[in-house]
Amino acid sequence: MGKIIAVANQKGGVGKTTSSVNLSACLAHLNKKILIVDIDPQGNSTSGVGINKADVSHCIYDVLVDDIEAENVCVQTDIDNLDIIPATIQLAGAEIELVSTISREVRLKKALDSIQDQYDYIIIDCPPSLGLLTINALTASDTVIIPVQCEYYALEGLSQLLNTIRLVQKHLNKELMIEGVLLTMLDARTNLGLQVIDEVKKYFQDKVYNTVIPRNIRLGEAPSHGQPIITYDSKSRGAEVYLDLAKEVIADG
């Protein structure tokens, strides 16, 4: 049975998509069978693995709102072992449309039940909000990875996220655990980044991954080529660190 991991933080631009795409591609590179589930209406992880959103006929919206089988919406990417359930801008309406549907918080969980055993890991790239889409992701997941950007207000907003996780644990998914806290976009030239690492480690202790993702130009470029870093530039520092992260995730079981 595959492990389902949500990548969540309601702040935008902290590295959720970059980490979802590159962790997934590195796990796939290490011979794990991977499914990315894109539940951000921006669809950045969809285009990030080379899927042209204009060519997508069915997306996660159809699964969540119209009960289309997840299997029928999965798309193979050009990367071995890596499939994706894509998102398009159509998903933007789902947050509101789901409000009035039956079992609105467990729709993603139910949809993934039927395909979970086909994958080693299912990675869910969440939108920058704590609305119904993120609730669906947390309800469907075994664990959650929280990317935290190494910047001044790093911890701000995390109490809301942790509160949401607690509410989901209480009412919807007792088993949900924090997989790990991932420090992203470290600028090694400043002391600030190192201070933030200390602060986050004080708060989350051994939940923080040893792997810290630095700012890396190639990581920023890869999405515009529709490629994860491991195929875009396998020799880059970005590829190295996301491979390290994938190994940590595998070691955690």
Q: Which residue in the set 2, 7, 9, 16 belongs to the binding site for Mg ion (CB under 5 A)?
A: 16
The stretch among 37-45, 92-100, 175-183, 193-201 that binds Mg ion (CB under 5 A) is: 37-45
Q: Which partner in Mg ion, ligand ADP, none is near 223 (CB below 5 to 8 A by kind)?
A: ligand ADP
What is the rounded CA–CA span in Å between residue 193 and residue 199?
10
Size of the site for Mg ion (CB under 5 A): 3
The candidate with the shortest Cα–Cα distance to 165, out of 198, 197, 193, 142, is 142
Residue ranges in 184-243 that form contacts with ligand ADP under rule CB under 6 A: 184-185, 213, 215-216, 219-220, 223
Say which DSSP state 175 is in.
T
Q: Cβ–Cβ contacts within 10 Å for residue 57, how many? A: 9
Q: Do strands 3-7 and 121-125 pair parallel, antiparallel, or not at all (unpaired)?
A: parallel
- Tokens (6 digits) for 89: 């801008």
Task: Classify residue 252 as left (phi > 0), alpha (psi -120 to 50) or beta.
Answer: alpha
Q: Do strands 177-184 and 82-85 pair parallel, antiparallel, or not at all (unpaired)?
A: unpaired
Whether 47 and 226 have beta carbons less than 8 Å apart is answered as yes
Nearer to ligand ADP, 81 or 216 (CB): 216
Q: Does 11 bind Mg ion (CB under 5 A)?
A: no
Q: Which residue in the set 10, 24, 44, 77 belongs to the binding site for ligand ADP (CB under 6 A)?
A: 44
What is the rounded CA–CA span in Å between residue 218 and residue 236?
7
Q: Does 15 bind ligand ADP (CB under 6 A)?
A: yes
Helix axes 132-140, 158-171, angle to 10 degrees: 60
Q: How far is the CB of 197 from ligand ADP (least distance, A)?
A: 14
Nearer to ligand ADP, 199 or 240 (CB): 240
Q: Does 17 bind Mg ion (CB under 5 A)?
A: yes
| Residue type for position 35 | L
Q: Which partner in ligand ADP, Mg ion, none is near 157 (CB below 5 to 8 A by kind)?
A: none
Nearer to ligand ADP, 73 or 183 (CB): 183
What is the rounded CA–CA span in Å between residue 27 and residue 48?
16
Q: How far is the CB of 66 from ligand ADP (least distance, A)?
A: 26
Nearer to Mg ion, 17 or 134 (CB): 17
Q: Which residue in the set 33, 106, 128, 157 belongs to the binding site for ligand ADP (CB under 6 A)?
A: 128
Burial (0-12, 13-18, 19+ Cβ within 10 Å), 239: buried
Q: How far is the CB of 100 from Mg ion (least distance, A)?
A: 27
Contacts with ligand ADP, residue ranges (CB under 6 A) = 12-18, 44, 128, 184-185, 213, 215-216, 219-220, 223
Contacts with Mg ion, residue ranges (CB under 5 A) = 16-17, 44
